[in-house]
Amino acid sequence: MQSSPVSDLIFSIAELISYLSRWYTFLPGDVILTGTPSGVGIGRKPPVFIKKGILWKSRSIALGL
């Protein structure tokens, strides 16, 4: 339902990690899920929202590179 390249994010991956590192200690294997800039559910007709019990998947191309 949502798909965007990392280059569309408002902040770079390095900026996100730097900011979140103020409060979290990241360990190998941790994943930061950001959502997509263009994939806002409220902007769809009809609006789409995550509901309790819904299973969602995330995938990454070239994870760890």
pLDDT score at 17: 93
- pTM of the complete model: 0.58
Map residue 41 onto helix, strand or coil. Answer: helix
Q: Cα–Cα distance between 43 and 60 in angstroms, integer?
A: 24
Question: What pLDDT, in 10s, does the model give residues 15-57?
Answer: 999 999 999 999 988 888 877 666 677 777 888 887 889 887 7
pLDDT score at 7: 82
pLDDT score at 38: 65
Q: 9 pLDDT exceeds 70?
A: yes
Tokens of 21: 């590192």
Determine the average pLDDT of the residues in 3-16.
Answer: 83
